[in-house]
Amino acid sequence: MLNFNPRKALDKIKPYVPGKPINEVKRELGLTEVIKLASNENPYGPSPKAKEAMVKTISNVQLYPDGRAYELKEALAKFYNLKMNQIVVGNGSDEIIKLLSEAFLETGDNIVQAEPTFSEYEFGALLMGAEVKKVPLKDYTHDLEGLWQAIDKKTKLVYICNPNNPTGTIIDEKTLLEFLDKLPEGVIAVLDEAYAEYVTSEAYPDSIKLIDRYPVLILRTFSKIYALAGLRVGYGLGTEKLISLLEKAREPFNVNLLGQVAALASLQDTKYKENSKQKNKQARELFYLECEKRKINYVKSETNFVLMGVENADSAFKGLLQRGVIVRSGSVFGLPHHLRVSLGTSNEMEKFWHAFDEMEVK
Ligand SMILES: Cc1ncc(COP(=O)(O)O)c(C=O)c1O
Cα dihedral: 278, 78, 190, 304 (round 10): 10
CB 192 near ligand 1, within 6 Å: yes
Residue 11 CB neighbour total at 10 angstroms: 8
* Gyration radius from the chain CA atoms: 21
How far is ligand 1, taken at its centre, from the CA of residue 5, in Å? 31
Let me know whether 184 and 111 are in one domain: yes
Q: Where are the beta strands (DSSP E) in the chain?
A: 35-36, 87-90, 110-115, 131-136, 155-161, 188-192, 216-221, 234-237, 298-299, 305-309, 325-326, 328-329, 338-342
Q: Which structural domain range is residue 254 located in? A: 48-268
Q: Write down the pLDDT at residue 16.
A: 80
On whether residue 4 sits in a domain, the answer given is no
Let me know whether 235 and 294 are in one domain: no
CB 227 near ligand 1, within 6 Å: no
Q: Which atom of ligand 1 is nearest to the CA of 94?
A: 11
CB 119 near ligand 1, within 6 Å: no
How far is ligand 1, taken at its centre, from the CA of residue 40, in Å? 9
| Backbone phi, psi, residue 203, to 5° | -80, -5
Listing DSSP states for 159-195 in one string gives EEESSPTTT-----HHHHHHHHHTPPTT-EEEEE-TT
Let me know whether 141 and 238 are in one domain: yes
| CA 80 to chain CA mean position, Å | 20
pTM of the model: 0.96
Give the domain-ending residue among 216, 251, 268. 268
CB 180 near ligand 1, within 6 Å: no
From atom 3 of ligand 1, which residue's Cα is the shortest distance away? 194
CB 223 near ligand 1, within 6 Å: yes
How far is ligand 1, taken at its centre, from the CA of residue 62, in Å? 28
Let me know whether 91 and 148 are in one domain: yes
Let me know whether 34 and 66 are in one domain: no
On whether residue 2 sits in a domain, the answer given is no
Q: Write down the pLDDT at residue 112.
A: 98
Let me know whether 301 and 320 are in one domain: yes
Let me know whether 228 and 262 are in one domain: yes
On whether residue 197 sits in a domain, the answer given is yes
On whether residue 173 sits in a domain, the answer given is yes
CB 316 near ligand 1, within 6 Å: no
Closest CA to 42 of 299, 351, 283, 321: 283
On whether residue 91 sits in a domain, the answer given is yes
On whether residue 119 sits in a domain, the answer given is yes
Q: Write down the pLDDT at residue 20.
A: 80
351: domain CATH number is 3.90.1150.10
On whether residue 10 sits in a domain, the answer given is no
On whether residue 101 sits in a domain, the answer given is yes
Q: Write down the pLDDT at residue 241.
A: 98
From atom 13 of ligand 1, which residue's Cα is the shortest distance away? 194
Let me know whether 306 and 338 are in one domain: yes
The tens-digit pLDDT sequence of the chain (362 residues) is 788 999 999 999 988 877 788 999 999 989 999 999 999 999 999 999 999 999 999 999 999 999 999 999 999 999 999 999 999 999 999 999 999 999 999 999 999 999 999 999 999 999 999 999 999 999 999 999 999 999 999 999 999 999 999 999 999 999 999 999 999 999 999 999 999 999 999 999 999 999 999 999 999 999 999 999 999 999 999 999 999 999 999 999 999 999 999 999 999 999 999 999 999 999 999 999 999 999 999 999 999 999 999 999 999 999 999 999 999 999 999 999 999 999 999 999 999 999 999 998 77
Q: Write down the pLDDT at residue 74.
A: 98
C-alpha to C-alpha distance for 237 and 215, rounded to whole angstroms: 11
Let me know whether 67 and 137 are in one domain: yes
Cα dihedral: 126, 128, 129, 131 (round 10): -50
CB 128 near ligand 1, within 6 Å: no
Let me know whether 236 and 335 are in one domain: no
Q: Which atom of ligand 1 is nearest to the CA of 117?
A: 1
Give the domain-ending residue among 268, 287, 303. 268
Residue 47 CB neighbour total at 10 angstroms: 24
Listing DSSP states for 236-259 in one string gives EE--HHHHHHHHHHS-TT-S-HHH
CB 92 near ligand 1, within 6 Å: yes
C-alpha to C-alpha distance for 264 and 255, rounded to whole angstroms: 12
CB 118 near ligand 1, within 6 Å: yes
Rounded (5°) CA angle 121-126-131: 90
Give the domain-ending residue among 214, 246, 268. 268
Q: Which atom of ligand 1 is nearest to the CA of 163?
A: 1
How far is ligand 1, taken at its centre, from the CA of residue 194, in Å? 6
Residue 2: partners with Cβ closer than 8 Å, 6 or more residues away: none
77: domain CATH number is 3.40.640.10
How far is ligand 1, taken at its centre, from the CA of residue 168, in Å? 13
How far is ligand 1, taken at its centre, from the CA of residue 236, in Å? 12
Spatial contact of 274 and 247, defined as CB atoms under 8 Å apart: no
Burial class from Cβ neighbours inside 10 Å (0-12, 13-18, 19+) for residue 186 reads exposed
CB 194 near ligand 1, within 6 Å: yes
CB 40 near ligand 1, within 6 Å: yes
Q: Which atom of ligand 1 is nearest to the CA of 97?
A: 4
Strands 338-342 and 305-309, bridge-based pairing: antiparallel
Let me know whether 263 and 276 are in one domain: no
Provide the number of structural domains found in the chain: 2
How far is ligand 1, taken at its centre, from the CA of residue 108, in Å? 27
Let me know whether 227 and 333 are in one domain: no
How far is ligand 1, taken at its centre, from the CA of residue 253, in Å? 20
Strands 35-36 and 110-115, bridge-based pairing: unpaired
Which residues partner with 138 through β-bridges?
A: 141
